[in-house]
Amino acid sequence: MLPLIPDPQFISINSGIFTLDTETKIQVSVETAKLGQMLAGLLRPSTGFPFPVVIDGEPSKTHQNRIILHLTDDFENPEGYSLFVTENFVRIHAGELNGLFYGIQTLRQLLPTEIESAEVREGVSWELTAVTIHDKPQYQWRGLMLDVCRHMFPVEFIKKYIDLMALNKLNTLHLHLTEDQGWRIEIKKHPLLTEISSYREATPYPSNRNELDGKAYGGFYTQEQLIELVDYAQERFITVVPEIELPGHSVAALAAYPHLGCRGEGYAVRTFWGIEDDVYCAGNEDTFSFLEDVFGEVLAIFPSPIIHIGGDECPKVRWETCPKCQARIKSEGLADEDELQSYFVRRIEKYLNNNGRRLIGWDEILEGGLAPNATVMSWRGSEGGIKAATAGHDVVMTPNTHCYFDYYQSEDTENEPPAIGGYIPVENTYLFEPTAGIDSTHGPHVLGGQGNLWTEYINTPAQAEYMTYPRASALAEAVWSAKVERDFDSFNGRLKTLLERFDYLSVNYRTID
Ligand code: ACM
Ligand code: ZN
């Protein structure tokens, strides 16, 4: 059994051995040269060999002892690839650079785990068994969400998070950037968002959610830092999808700009976890011009074709008694506050569509009627996603039955660090099936799946890794590999090798029971 995660679609183990040695060259074209350099950078330290990258046209039989990266036009899936290891050469074929990148990740996992070591060695000849692999993902959205609001994480840590995603062939990093408890993205036109909205006065203790620690907490990412992250992710074929929460989870913004709330005053960045009653006023035009300013800057930072607008957990109590909100319900002929939320989301969708982007929101955006082109992210189980897909909308499945990585990984919670609750062992994540409950006609609307890391109880990078891995590796296989190929015992066997790799990469994964 080859120790590959996610498990490729087709593997044939052949006879023969390819040996990487001091003569091995990496053969590229102009288009693939950058990937060749990336591969060389991966192989050089742990072997001590030079791996020169040579631009050399069509692969030929006379070229011995080469690793060839070759683009061809016979791949339908831009992320698909073929990998051939023979005695004489290693060749990766793909239709797009994404595919070649994934072929390189597979090649990496075929090599001994020591190649991940940062220790520089001299003259170590790694061997590869001859093999033919044809591979492509089942789903195009293979994501992780990181909540940087409840707790912030250093840019360098997010880069490591991206590196590990790439190793697992995940391609979407959803960054949850605004919350009741903190606004984390610099918006130049509204500087109070970073001066005021990014700081809270205290944080609940992880061991006691009803008591505050009394310590100010906060910070934000500059636009420059976010652009750096977007570029870093793009080089690893990962799209960063920003989330700007509306209409709810927005009291931090109201603390800086109180005229955007129904009451108009008395707001503070929230300290306790949970849901805040104060939300953006849907009857005030200033709310929409403010949000258009925000999205204007967000779109300039994030090239993602799809933008997350939150939409979850928006209490309607303020809207029920707000004269402006009630006037809006009347003037727009809306039935109730649920329809007012839909009105809100539709206006934002129109703005995003007019600017060439699509909108995605949590499944509450179904309540009161879905915006015409919206994609739904299903989190309260899969029901919302099933309903949206059946109605012809695209969906991303992140059900809290399989994909909530802030939940406990063991029933023995006494021996786990404090978590929000719940119980999702790695086996449950592994059994995640994005299209479960959806008929084959509507199956193609399921773009894929994602694991969510909410960080109320996660306040260090080490804890973030502990909660993410190995569940994210199980998710990676669930969204990449064909269902018929999936077998938890097989995964568990292959995982041992991946965890050795993680040891070299200093990943604080949870040891499985
Ligand atoms: C969510 O977990 N509130 C989307
Ligand atoms: Zn209002």
Ligand 1 pocket, 312 CB below 6 A? yes
96 in a structural domain: yes
d(CA 419, CA 272): 15
Q: How confident is the model at residue 104 (pLDDT cuts 50, 70, 90)?
A: very high
Q: Are residues 248 and 324 in the same domain?
A: yes
- The finding on whether 380 has its CB within 6 A of some atom of ligand 1 is no
What is the 19 CA–ligand 2 centroid distance (Å)?
A: 69
Which of 312, 378, 450, 453 to mutate to test ligand 1, by most ligand atoms within 8 A of the CB atom?
312
Q: Which domain holds residue 333?
A: 141-504
Final residue of a structural domain among 117, 135, 153 = 135
Mean pLDDT confidence for 58-84:
89
Same domain, 157 and 107: no
Protein residue with its CA nearest to atom 3 in ligand 1: 312
Where a domain ends, among 85, 110, 135? 135
Tokens 């990937």 found at: 35
Centroid of ligand 2 to alpha carbon of 451 (angstroms): 34
Query: In which residue are the tokens 């109180």 written?
Result: 258
- Cβ–Cβ < 8 Å for 477, 486: yes
Same domain, yes or no: 423 and 350:
yes
Question: Is residue 362 lining ligand 1, measured as CB closer than 6 Å?
Answer: yes
Alpha-carbon distance 278 to 156, whole Å? 34
Residue 120 pLDDT more than 90? no
Residue 281 in any domain: the answer is yes
pLDDT at 61 over 70: no
Mutate to test the pocket of ligand 1, among 249, 276, 360, 362 (most ligand atoms within 8 A of CB): 362
The predicted structure's pLDDT at residue 59 = 61
Spell out the residues 6+ positions from residue 367 whose beta carbon is closer than 8 angstroms to its own: 338, 341, 342
Range with the lowest mean pLDDT among 42-56, 179-193, 258-272, 389-403?
A: 42-56
Q: Are 302 and 241 in contact, with CB atoms under 8 Å apart?
A: yes
CA gap 204, 474 in Å, rounded: 31
Say yes or no: CB of residue 228 within 6 Å of ligand 1: no
Query: 268 vs 34, 223, 247, CA distance in Å?
Result: 48, 24, 17
Q: What percent of the chain has pLDDT over 70?
A: 99
Q: Assign 219 a pLDDT band (cuts: 50, 70, 90).
A: very high
pLDDT, tens only, 288-320? 999 999 999 999 999 999 999 999 999 999 999
Reading the block at residue 184, the tokens are 């984390």
Atom of ligand 1 nearest to the CA of 377: 4
The ligand that comes nearest to the alpha carbon of residue 147 is: 1
Q: Which helix (H) or strand (E) holds 100?
A: helix 97-110
Predicted local distance difference test score (pLDDT) of residue 60: 63
DSSP string, 184-240: -B--TT-THHHHTTTEES--EETTEEEEE----EE--B-HHHHHHHHHHHHHTT-EE
In a domain? residue 413: yes
Residue 204: cis peptide before it, omega within 30 degrees of 0: no
In a domain, 2, yes or no: no
Residue 57 pLDDT greater than 80, yes or no: no
- Which of the two residues, 482 and 404, has the higher pLDDT score? 404
Over 80: is that where the pLDDT of 209 sits?
yes
Question: Which residue, of 90, 111, 135, is where some domain finishes?
Answer: 135
- Among 174, 313, 376, 450, name the best residue to mutate to test ligand 1's pocket (greatest count of ligand atoms within 8 A of Cβ): 313
Closest-CA residue, ligand 1 atom 2, reads 379
Residues 110 and 161 in one domain: no
Mean pLDDT value of segment 88-117: 97
Tell me the C-alpha distance between 165 and 193, whole Å: 30
Q: Are residues 120 and 177 in the same domain?
A: no
Asked whether residue 498 is assigned to any structural domain, the reply reads yes
pLDDT of amino acid 14: 97
Cβ burial, residue 210 (10 Å; 0-12/13-18/19+): exposed
- Of 156, 227, 221, residue with least CA distance to 193: 221
Q: What is the whole-number distance in angstroms between the Cα of residue 463 and the centre of ligand 1?
A: 20
Q: Based on the domain organization, do 478 and 360 belong to the same domain?
A: yes
CA of residue 404 to ligand 1 center, whole Å:
9
State which H helix or E strand residue 48 sits in: none
Please state, in angstroms and rounded to a whole number, the distance separating the CA atoms of residues 82 and 92. 6
Check whether residue 254 and residue 382 sit in a common domain.
yes
Q: Which residues contact 260 (CB under 8 A, 6 or more apart)?
A: 253, 254, 280, 281, 284, 286, 287, 290
CATH value at residue 33: 3.30.379.10
Q: Is 122 left (phi over 0), alpha (psi -120 to 50) or beta?
A: beta
How far is the centre of ligand 1, averaged over its atoms, from the C-alpha of 465 (Å)? Answer: 20
The residues near 322 (Cβ < 8 Å, ≥ 6 apart) are: 262, 263, 281, 283
Name the phi and psi angles at 32, rounded to 5: -100, 5
- Average pLDDT of span 340-356: 98
What is the pLDDT averaged over residues 105-130?
Answer: 93
pLDDT band at 137 (very low <50, low <70, confident <90, very high): very high
Ligand 1 atom showing the smallest separation from residue 362 Cα: 4
CATH code for the domain of 203 = 3.20.20.80
Distance 115 CA to ligand 2 centre (A): 58
pLDDT at position 56: 83
481 and 404 within one domain: yes
Strands 89-94 and 81-85: antiparallel
The whole-number average pLDDT for the span 101-119 is 95
From the CA of 324, how far away is ligand 2's center (Å)? 5
∠ CA 187-189-194, rounded to 5°? 40
Q: Is the dihedral of CA 377, 382, 388, 389 positive or negative?
A: positive
Q: Quote the CA–CA distance of 266 and 264 in Å, as a whole number.
A: 7
When pLDDT is averaged across residues 270-290 and rounded to a whole number, the result is 98
The pTM (predicted TM-score) of the whole model is: 0.98
Kindly compute the dihedral angle of the four CA atoms of residues 249, 445, 81, 48, in this order, to the nearest 10 degrees: 10
Q: For residue 373, report the distance from its CA to the centre of ligand 2, in Å.
A: 26
Give pLDDT, residue 483.
81
pLDDT recorded at residue 58: 65
- The predicted model gives 177-188 an average pLDDT of 98
Residue 506 has pLDDT above 90, yes or no: yes
Q: What is the pLDDT of residue 113?
A: 96
Q: What DSSP letter does each residue of 261-273 carry, written as one string? A: BSS-S------SS
pLDDT, residue 126, reads 92
**Predicted confidence (pLDDT) per residue in 411-435, tens digit:** 999 999 999 999 999 999 999 999 9
Split at pLDDT 50, 70, 90, the class of 62 is low
Q: Quick one: average pLDDT of 347-358?
A: 98
As a whole-number percent, the residues of the chain with pLDDT over 90 amount to 95
**Token duo for residue 379:** 């989190």
Provide the pairing of β-strand 358-362 with 172-176: unpaired
CA of 243 to the centre of ligand 2 (A): 23
With the most atoms of ligand 1 within 8 angstroms of its CB, the residue from 179, 314, 379 to mutate is 379
Does 305 reside within a domain?
A: yes
Q: Is 362 within the bounds of a domain? A: yes
Count of domains for the chain: 2
59 assigned to some structural domain: yes
Complete DSSP assignment for 105-159: HHHHHHS-GGGG--S--SS---EEEEEEEEE--S-SEEEEEEE-SSS---HHHHH
Counting from 1 in the atom list of ligand 1, the atom nearest the Cα of 452 is 2
